[in-house]
Chains A and B, each alone.
Chain A
Amino acid sequence: MSVVEVLGVTKAYRDKVAVNNLSLSIEPGQMFGLLGPNGSGKTSSIRMMIGITFPDSGDIRLFDEPFSRKHLARVGYLPEERGLYKKMKVLDQLIFMGGLHGLSPEEAKKRAIAWAKKMDIAGSLLKKTEELSKGMQQKIQFIAALMHDPDLIIMDEPFSGLDPVNATLLQDTLLELKAQGKAILFSTHRMDQVEKLCDSIALIHQGNRVLSGKVREIKSRYKRDRVVMEFEGSAEFLNGAEIAEAKNYSGHAEIKLKEGGDAQKLLAEAASMATIYRFELVEPSLEEIFIQAVGGKADA
């Protein structure tokens, strides 16, 4: 069963194609990363998944059925453009948001209090939103998106603006929800975060999908052609025949091998000249893969 399916969706605004023939599918219990630089079409794709805008062509399916507003009760959404009623008390705001998702005021209140304790903001429930810090406000929005126990959670740039402590708290919460079988889609332009969290990704650039699939499979498709070394002794081996490019920071070297370059030969050569403390054949990061995939034209 697919929680969300995007089938050949295209959306254009005047002369700009925001999303071009995008397809993807997310299963229950899957954490899916929608990656791409700013303006690549991530938010436009998400808006179509939750019916804020509609595709010019292609189909959106939610919970194995054609898109319908009734499905939205099972979706939790945190938009990139955060928004709360500034003059409203936090608890009233959460009860209102819960009500829009079909919760009774009593149930919404109960859940809001439980979530506030979990997110460590229980003391702020009776304050007005404008009295809270940005980080606190962001936590309230997480609660608003999650308190109705949705089966599909969509978060647009969820970690932006969060300090490391709160980013870890959110990350742990998302992993917990994933373990409960929820499908989670989040978009980000920070590819390092996705590597740690997501099972599958879709990389989009200028509205086009340039890569998609399971993170491990994508990475395995790209050769390990980078070496990180820590050594003591002569650095003469850095001029060797296997190396395309090398940076040496006093005993810490970052090396890019030539096309077809042999890492084992490099190791043997280096060991003959210096004492090797670390020799690691590193797999390319998603960011590097992305730059390779778009031919070095990424503007991220």
Chain B
Amino acid sequence: MHNLLLVAKREYLEQVRGRAFRLTTVLVPALFAIIIGVGFLSGRSTGANKHLVVAAPDTVLANDIRDQLLADKSAKATVEVIAPAGGEDRDALVKRVSAKEIDGFLWIEQPAGKDPVATYESQSSGDFVTEAKLSSALNHSLIQGRLEQRGVKQSEADALLARIEIKTLQVNKEGKVVKSNAQTSFWKGYVMAILLSMTTMIYGMNVARSIIQEKTSRIFEVMLSTAKPSDLLAGKLIGVGAVGLTQIAIWVVAAVALLSTAFAAPLMSGDLAIHFSWVEGVLFPLYFVLGYLLYSSLFAGLAATCETEQELQMYTPLAAVPIWLSFSLIVLIINDSNSVWSIAASMFPPCAPIIMFLRMGSSMPQPWEFALSISLMIVSIIGVLWVSTKLYRVGILMYGKRATLPEMLRWLRYS
């Protein structure tokens, strides 16, 4: 026990004092802030400041569409109207698009006795935001026109077509209704799942890298003359895990400090309110520890069979598989976070931490689900640790070449 703690302390202090720790502590949240910021700004600017032309055989319809488009002040669009438009107008508009005088034009044709046909021609074929706005404006104007043709007054038609925003509220664990937003709470779960997968991966790989470094520096032989291999491995896992928890604690403290400032006030109230519960506060470090132990013990065993970090990198995709798998199930979870499949996926130990947080983004799973997923993780950690300790015990003293699978199986029998 004494040696285990010494190894853990050395590992912790060396990593916490290292430059990599300082850099990742600052850079990871900064990176997240940049990604979220860029996403937010690009979302706001997509489809804005467009110079468009609406060309239709019917002047009323064209003007209606223009009014609809201009009603969205944030779009800051410039809309010209050509009505009634003829064939030569279309050629001229194509030329204007190609000369980049305008961003695009909406061409509406009205075949006799049939529904209108609309075409949007633009510089960019992938501008789905503008396309969606045009579609909404066109349909709104057409429906309004049809209602008026059926004798509905314009004011009544406007009232019928008025958009109604859905206000979302979330019922929390205490049964209280809090202001929330389905999107923000999903994004909160998503960001927490990414943070969790990143930290478990980073620190799992840190353990592996540290073992390879000790193996290549040949320090194991000295260590083994005083400490048991199991103490060395356990000390390393605890030391590196404590570094991860320290980093998470720094992020949490910094986030709490930041969220209590006036700058973050819009995030804590209003439509975009983000609510963190104490359950999330407990589950995040708990799932980090479990996920980290599962990954790091797996990688510790594999690292002991390798000679260099390059060899270890061959196994990196193996670690990424559960993460890819977890995030590929995102649609399933959004659709119904409490479906049998969502629950089953959140019980599968390699995916459990990520999927649980993705599910929590939609709705809070039942306590028994947490208990079962945590129990299954603990059982699988014990299993992986048992195999890894055996590989580690033999592997750290094997120099010269990377072990093949038959050799690893033999090591398992030896130790």
| Shortest distance from the beta carbon of A120 to any chain B beta carbon, whole Å | 22
Q: Is A16 an interface residue (CB 8 A)?
A: no
Complex Cα spacing A51 to B231, Å: 14
Taking A52-B225, A72-B226, A88-B14 as contacts, is the C-beta distance between A83 and B6 under 8 angstroms? no
Decide: A100 near B220, CB < 8 A? Known: A72-B225, A87-B14. Answer: no
Check A97–B222 contact: CB distance below 8 A.
Answer: yes
Closest-by-CB residue of A relative to B14 is: A88
8 residue pairs, one from A and one from B, having the closest CB atoms: A83-B219, A83-B218, A79-B221, A81-B218, A77-B225, A100-B226, A83-B217, A50-B225
Least CB distance, A46 to chain B, in whole angstroms: 10
Which residues of the partner chain A approach B136 to less than 8 Å between Cβ atoms? none
Q: How far apart sit A82 and B221, CA to CA, in the bound complex (Å)? A: 8
Residue B129 interfacial (CB < 8 Å): no
Beta-carbon contact of B228 and A99 below 8 Å = no
Q: Give bound CA distance, A89 to B405, whole Å.
A: 38
Contact flags (1/0) for A38-79 with B, using CB distance below 8 Å?
Answer: 000000000100111100000000000000010011010111
Q: Which of A52, A85, A102 contacts B219 (CB 8 A)?
A: A85
Asked whether B217 lies within 8 Å of A100 as measured between CB atoms, the reply is no
- Add 11 more A-B contacts to A75-B225, A100-B227 (CB < 8 A): A14-B410, A52-B225, A83-B219, A83-B221, A86-B213, A87-B14, A88-B14, A96-B6, A100-B3, A100-B223, A141-B222
Return chain A residues, CB-CB under 8 Å to B227. Answer: 100
- The answer to whether A52 and B217 touch across the interface, beta carbons within 8 angstroms, is no
Are A81 and B399 in contact, CB atoms less than 8 angstroms apart?
A: yes
Would you give the 0/1 interface string for A199-241, flagging 1 where the beta carbon is closer than 8 Å to chain B? 0000000000000000000000000000000000000000000
Q: Which residues of A contact B217 (CB under 8 A)?
A: 83-86
- CB A137 to nearest CB in B, in angstroms, measures 10
Alpha-carbon distance A141/B217, docked complex (angstroms): 13
Residue of A with least CB distance to B7: A100
> CA A77 – CA B151 in complex, angstroms?
101
* Interface mask (B390-404 → A, CB under 8 Å = 1, otherwise 0): 000000010100000
5 contacting pairs across A/B (C-beta < 8 A): A50-B225, A79-B222, A79-B225, A82-B218, A83-B217
Docked-complex contact A85 and B14, CB < 8 angstroms: yes
B218 partner residues in chain A, CB cutoff 8 A: 79, 81-83
Q: What residues of chain B lie closer than 8 Å to A100, measured between beta carbons? A: 3, 6, 223, 226-227
Output the least CB separation between A83 and chain B (Å).
3
Interface string of A100-127 (1 = CB under 8 A from B): 1110000000000000000000000000
Assuming the A-B contacts A81-B399, A83-B217, are A101 and B226 also in contact, with contact meaning beta carbons closer than 8 angstroms in the complex? yes
Interfacial chain B residues near A34, Cβ < 8 Å = none
Q: How far is the CA of A88 from the CA of B3 in the complex (A)?
A: 18
Residue of A at shortest CB range from B407?
A14
Q: Are B221 and A81 closer than 8 Å at their CB atoms?
A: yes
Across-interface contacts of A145 in B (CB, < 8 A): 222
Tell me the smallest distance from the CB of A77 to a CB of chain B, in Å: 4
Nearest-neighbour CB distance to chain A for B223, whole angstroms, equals: 7
Q: Are A83 and B397 within 8 A (Cβ)? A: no
Complex Cα spacing A101 to B225, Å: 10
Is B31 part of the contact surface with A, judged by Cβ < 8 Å?
Answer: no
Q: Mark B206-218, 1 if CB is under 8 A from A, else 0.
A: 0000000110011
Say yes or no: B224 contacts A52, CB within 8 Å.
Answer: yes
Q: What is the total of A-B residue contacts with beta carbons within 8 Å?
A: 61
Q: Evaluate whether A144 and B222 lie within 8 angstroms (CB atoms) in the complex, with A86-B217, A96-B6 already known.
A: yes
Q: Quick check: is B146 within 8 A (CB to CB) of the other chain?
A: no
Query: Which residues of chain A have C-beta atoms less than 8 A from B221's C-beta?
Result: 52, 77, 79, 81, 83
The residue in chain B whose Cβ has the minimal distance to the Cβ of A78 is B222
* Complex CA distance for A14 and B228, rounded to whole angstroms: 24
Find the A residue at minimum CB distance from B414.
A13
Which residues in B have their C-beta under 8 angstroms from that of A101?
226
The interface residues of chain B lying within 8 Å CB-to-CB of A102 are 2
Interface size on B, as a range, is: 20 to 34
B10 CB–A CB distance under 8 Å: yes
Q: In the complex, A93 Cα to B74 Cα: how many Å?
A: 62
For chain A, give the interface size range.
20 to 34
Q: Give the residues in chain B near A47, CB-CB below 8 Å.
A: 397
Is A77 a contact partner of B222 (Cβ separation < 8 A)?
yes
Closest chain-A Cβ to B399's Cβ sits at a distance in Å of 7
Interchain CB contact (< 8 A) of B220 among A73, A78, A83, A144: A83
A65, B2: Cα distance in complex, Å? 24
For A52, A72, A85, A145, the residue with the greatest tally of chain B CB atoms inside 10 Å of its CB is: A52
How far, in Å, is A116 (CB) from chain B's closest CB?
A: 18
Q: How far is the CA of A47 from the CA of B228 in the complex (A)?
A: 13
Whether B222 lies near A83 (C-beta < 8 A) is: yes
From residue 334 to 369 of chain B, which have CB atoms closer than 8 A to chain A? none
Q: 1/0 per residue A262-298: CB within 8 Å of B?
A: 0000000000000000000000000000000000000
CA distance A84 to B223 in the complex (A): 10
Q: Chain B contacts of A87 at CB under 8 A?
A: 14, 18
- Report chain B residues within 8 Å CB of A83: 214, 217-222
Residues 123 to 145 of chain A near chain B (Cβ within 8 Å): 141, 144-145
CB neighbours of A144 from chain B (8 A): 222
User: In chain B, residues 213-268, which have Cβ atoms closer than 8 Å to a Cβ of chain A?
Assistant: 213-214, 217-228
- Please give the distance in Å from B34's CB to the nearest CB on chain A: 30
Whether B222 lies near A69 (C-beta < 8 A) is no
Report the bound CA distance from A87 to B18 in whole Å. 9
Residues of A within 8 A of B10 (CB): 88, 96
**Residue with the highest number of chain A CB atoms closer than 10 Å, among B213, B218, B221:** B221
CB distance from B208 to the nearest CB of A (A): 17
Contacts of A84 in B (CB 8 A): 217, 219
Name the residue of chain A whose CB is nearest to the CB of B225.
A77
Q: Which residue of A lies closest to B5 (CB)?
A: A99
Separation of A144 and B226 alpha carbons in the complex (Å)? 12
| Nearest Cβ on chain A to B382's Cβ, whole angstroms | 24
CA distance A134 to B349 in the complex (A): 46
Q: Which of A77, A86, A99: most chain B CB closer than 10 A?
A: A99
* Bitwise interface map of B from 371 to 400 toward A, beta carbon under 8 Å scored 1, else 0: 000000000000000000000000001010
Minimal beta-carbon separation of B62 from chain A (angstroms): 71
Contact B226 A52 (CB under 8 A): no
> Which of A79, A97, A102 has the most CB atoms of chain B within a 10 A radius of its CB?
A79
Minimal beta-carbon separation of A227 from chain B (angstroms): 45
A53 and B213 CA atoms in complex are apart in Å by 22
* Complex Cα–Cα for A200 and B168 (A): 87
Find chain B residues with CB under 8 A from A69 CB: 228
Question: Among the listed A52, A73, A86, which residue makes an inter-chain contact with B397, where contact means beta carbons less than 8 Å apart?
Answer: A52
